[in-house]
């Protein structure tokens, strides 16, 4: 079965510092990978997705992620954190094209310190 592991349930960085949120997946076939963000009392919003095109994927709000098959990783980064980035971030995998059944990681809560 597909699974996603997010390392670190809480990450805290200073404003202007690098953001690195880790995600590892298990998949026996090339997966489709996603990062979603959830702000308090809101639903999830797609940040970026990997669907077997370029391994470096750029998303909204300055985020990007790199697909590394050898490491089964899809870590999310942003060079300079902003206070508005404080939220919960979810990595998700969909093993089957066309399947809307996503398997989510447990989430990482990102806190930005002034």
Nearer to other proteins, 19 or 35 (CB): 35
Q: Interface with other proteins includes 5 (CB under 8 A)?
A: no
Q: Taking CB under 8 A as the rule, which mask of x and - marks residues 7-46 in contact with other proteins? A: -------------------------x---x----xxxxxx
Q: Are 74 and 23 in contact (CB under 8 A)?
A: yes
Question: Which letter, b or e, does each residue of 14-32 get, where b requires 16 or more Cβ atoms within 10 Å of its Cβ?
Answer: eeeeebebbbbbebeeebb
Q: How far is the CB of 70 from other proteins (least distance, A)?
A: 23
CA–CA distance, 54 with 67 (Å, rounded to integer): 8
Binding site residues, other proteins, CB under 8 A: 32, 36, 41-46, 49, 51, 90, 92, 94, 96-107
């Amino acid at each position: 079965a597909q699974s996603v592991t997010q390392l670190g349930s809480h990450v805290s960085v200073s404003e202007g510092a690098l953001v690195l949120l880790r995600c590892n997946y298990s998949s026996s076939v090339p997966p489709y990978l996603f990062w979603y963000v959830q702000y308090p009392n809101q639903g999830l919003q797609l940040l970026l997705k990997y669907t077997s095109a370029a391994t470096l994927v750029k998303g909204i709000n300055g985020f990007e992620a790199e697909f590394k098959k050898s490491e089964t990783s899809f870590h999310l980064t942003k060079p300079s954190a902003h206070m508005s980035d404080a939220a919960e971030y979810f990595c998700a995998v969909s093993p089957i094209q066309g399947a809307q059944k996503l398997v989510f990681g447990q989430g990482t809560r990102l806190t930005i310190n002034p």
